């Protein structure tokens, strides 16, 4: 029997769809899952009649693959990856390649690349975005590791990836853990945009008095604009239109308002803090999820703490319109991308990833959760100026800021006046106002630090390091 081109370990939501994708692109496959019943079920179900065979143990799995072996692991990130590497490596031979397609922490990937390559195997850490549908029809893929390992799987990945007008949504991202780092930041941007759309919904509901169907109509309009046309706006409209199964009311209004945060969102913010990158919009989104999870405390606080006004929001306030809310959504989304790209640029320098920013924007244009028309503008901005320090300085983006910042400010002011939380909108406004201010009040912070701790300071009028005896 001829050997299979491609092996997959882990028949979860992603693995199952990815192997069907590979097979439909002409790569015969062999699958293995820790719990064999899942393999059997898959082979009798979605895998039936396909060029896909199964294996009940890892030795059999490895034996069924042509050499050099190309094996994708789609399993839970963390210790499970190390466990499977330990279990499979006795059966691997020189040149065989393992790909970790899960949401692994990029430092774990750095370690695994070094370890596996020291044993003459290849290892690729590859972020994959697109959910179940993307995995089946074409995801965005962010592979990192050594270039020679990438080249061994380039033809497979290029066929499996989403296709956009300028090619497949996959590229060689860079060495070591860079692929997983880029996926982490992708998810950080995703956190930001999801929270931004949730804030827009909340304002339209609580201040404008609109219902789900009216808000969905606004989302549909936004999705036709260059600035907001995106997968996340598209699915926001879908979610808002969905009725509960009994047809009684909107399902969104029946969902518990607690959002989890794990792994990638947290890692984006931690990396930004470590690297000195400013990501306030993304951080605000992460923190909004943390606060949302404190449901019992929030219910208690609602009866104890009061907002700035006791007005009936809808009847008393008409000072906010959907055009201004659109300004807030556009600028906050731009800020999420700008902060994510800035974090990538800084990480690229610090970790020697040599990331190509236009290519990263290109592979996010299709297949992934943050795909949007804005990414073409982002790609153009970095093509025009590969040294661009911040997206906001590109002429098209700075024009957006200049045209829309008063709308954003109106929205933040109305929200503040009415006590409606808009963490991403207000963080974005502060970010933009700070970024465009040539002189910030940190001169006083420096004075205080020198006063209590002799930390010294620099001056604006002469070179050098200075200290003042403040208390004498």
Residues recognised as catalytic: 183, 190
The SS3 of residue 41 is helix
Q: Which residues ranging from 21 to 80 are in contact with ligand NAP (CB under 6 A)?
A: 33-35, 38, 74-77, 80
* Identity of the residue, 6 or 397, whose beta carbon is nearer to ligand NAP in the bound complex: 6
* Identity of the residue, 34 or 159, whose beta carbon is nearer to ligand NAP in the bound complex: 34
**Chosen residue from 4, 5, 6, 14 binding ligand NAP by CB under 6 A:** 14
CA separation for the pair 337, 375 (Å, rounded): 9
By the 8 A CB rule, do 273 and 301 touch? no
Q: How far is the CB of 177 from ligand NAP (least distance, A)?
A: 14
Residues 86-105: x where in contact with ligand NAP by CB under 6 A, - otherwise, as a string: ----------------xx--
Residues 102-121: x where in contact with ligand NAP by CB under 6 A, - otherwise, as a string: xx------------------
* Identity of the residue, 7 or 10, whose beta carbon is nearer to ligand NAP in the bound complex: 10
Take residue 21 and report the two structure tokens written for it: 């994708």
CA separation for the pair 232, 237 (Å, rounded): 9
Radius of gyration of the chain (CA): 25
Q: How far is the CB of 45 from ligand NAP (least distance, A)?
A: 15
CA-nearest of 183, 169, 174 to 379 is: 169
CA-nearest of 253, 209, 233, 262 to 78 is: 262
CA separation for the pair 360, 169 (Å, rounded): 9
Q: How far is the CB of 260 from ligand NAP (least distance, A)?
A: 13
* Element housing 250 (H / E): none
Q: How far is the CB of 176 from ligand NAP (least distance, A)?
A: 18
CA separation for the pair 192, 140 (Å, rounded): 19
**Chosen residue from 11, 85, 98, 330 binding ligand NAP by CB under 6 A:** 11
Segment lying near ligand NAP (by CB under 6 A), choices 7-15, 114-122, 149-157, 232-240: 7-15
φ, ψ dihedrals at 261, nearest 5°:
-140, 135
CA separation for the pair 80, 349 (Å, rounded): 31
**Chosen residue from 68, 95, 131, 421 binding ligand NAP by CB under 6 A:** 131
Angstrom CA distances, 230 to 161, 203, 355, 375, 401, stand at 18, 20, 24, 10, 19
* Identity of the residue, 168 or 367, whose beta carbon is nearer to ligand NAP in the bound complex: 367
Q: How far is the CB of 418 from ligand NAP (least distance, A)?
A: 36
Determine if 336 is a binding residue for ligand NAP (CB under 6 A). Answer: no
Beta-carbon count within 10 A of 73 CB: 24
* Identity of the residue, 99 or 422, whose beta carbon is nearer to ligand NAP in the bound complex: 99
φ, ψ dihedrals at 319, nearest 5°:
-85, 10
Q: How far is the CB of 265 from ligand NAP (least distance, A)?
A: 12
| Count of residues that interact with ligand NAP, criterion CB under 6 A | 22
* Identity of the residue, 131 or 421, whose beta carbon is nearer to ligand NAP in the bound complex: 131
* Identity of the residue, 103 or 427, whose beta carbon is nearer to ligand NAP in the bound complex: 103
Determine if 472 is a binding residue for ligand NAP (CB under 6 A). Answer: no
Tokens 């009649």 sit on residue? 49
CA separation for the pair 330, 112 (Å, rounded): 39
Q: How far is the CB of 103 from ligand NAP (least distance, A)?
A: 4
How close are the terminal C-alpha atoms of the chain, in Å? 89
CA-nearest of 417, 424, 423, 396 to 339 is: 424
Q: What is the DSSP letter of 140?
A: E
Tokens 């998810």 sit on residue? 187
Determine if 162 is a binding residue for ligand NAP (CB under 6 A). Answer: no
Using alpha carbons only, what angle is made at residue 195 by residues 285 and 137, rounded to the nearest 5 degrees?
Answer: 110
Segment lying near ligand NAP (by CB under 6 A), choices 8-16, 212-220, 296-304, 305-313: 8-16
Determine if 189 is a binding residue for ligand NAP (CB under 6 A). Answer: no
Binding site for ligand NAP (CB under 6 A): 10-15, 33-35, 38, 74-77, 80, 83-84, 102-103, 128-129, 131
């Amino acid at each position: 029997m001829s050997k299979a081109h491609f092996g997959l370990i882990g028949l979860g939501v992603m693995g199952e769809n990815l192997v069907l994708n590979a097979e439909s692109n002409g790569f015969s496959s062999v699958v293995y899952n820790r719990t064999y019943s899942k393999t059997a079920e898959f082979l009798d179900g979605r895998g039936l009649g396909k060029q896909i065979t199964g294996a009940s143990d890892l030795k059999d799995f490895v034996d069924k693959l042509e050499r050099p072996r190309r094996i994708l692991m789609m399993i839970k990130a963390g210790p499970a990856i190390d466990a499977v590497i330990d279990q499979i490596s006795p059966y691997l031979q020189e040149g065989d390649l393992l790909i970790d397609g899960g949401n692994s922490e990029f430092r774990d990937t750095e370690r695994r690349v070094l370890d596996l390559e020291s044993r003459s195997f290849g290892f690729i850490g590859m972020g994959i975005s697109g959910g179940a549908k993307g995995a089946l029809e074409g995801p965005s893929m962010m592979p990192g590791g050594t270039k020679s390992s990438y080249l061994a799987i380039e033809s497979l990945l290029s066929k499996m990836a989403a296709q956009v007008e300028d090619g497949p949504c996959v590229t060689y991202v860079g060495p070591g853990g860079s692929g997983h780092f880029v996926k982490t930041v992708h998810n950080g941007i995703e956190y930001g945009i999801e929270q931004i759309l949730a804030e827009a919904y909340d304002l339209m509901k609580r201040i404008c008095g609109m219902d789900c169907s009216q808000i969905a109509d606004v989302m549909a309009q936004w999705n036709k604009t260059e600035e907001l046309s995106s997968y996340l706006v598209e699915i926001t409209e879908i979610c808002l239109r969905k009725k509960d199964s009994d047809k009684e009311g909107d399902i969104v209004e029946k969902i518990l308002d607690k959002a989890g945060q794990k792994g990638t969102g947290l890692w984006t913010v931690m990396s930004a803090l470590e690297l000195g990158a400013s990501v306030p919009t993304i951080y605000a989104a992460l923190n909004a999820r943390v606060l949302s999870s404190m449901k019992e405390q929030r219910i208690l606080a609602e009866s104890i703490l009061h907002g700035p006004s006791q007005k009936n929001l809808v009847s008393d306030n008409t000072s906010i319109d959907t055009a201004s809310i659109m300004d807030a959504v556009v600028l906050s989304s731009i800020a999420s991308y700008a902060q994510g790209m800035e974090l990538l640029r800084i990480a690229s320098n610090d970790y020697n990833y040599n990331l190509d920013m236009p290519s990263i924007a290109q592979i996010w244009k299709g297949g992934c959760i943050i795909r949007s028309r804005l990414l073409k503008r982002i790609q153009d901005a970095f093509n025009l100026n590969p040294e661009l320090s911040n997206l906001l300085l590109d002429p098209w983006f700075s024009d957006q800021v200049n045209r829309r910042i008063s709308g954003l400010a109106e929205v933040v002011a109305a929200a503040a006046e009415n006590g409606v939380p808009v963490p991403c909108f207000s963080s974005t406004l502060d970010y933009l106002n700070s970024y465009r201010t040539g002189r910030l009040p940190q001169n006083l912070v420096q004075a205080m630090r020198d006063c209590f701790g002799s930390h010294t300071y620099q001056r604006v009028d002469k070179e050098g390091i200075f200290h003042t005896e403040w208390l004498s």
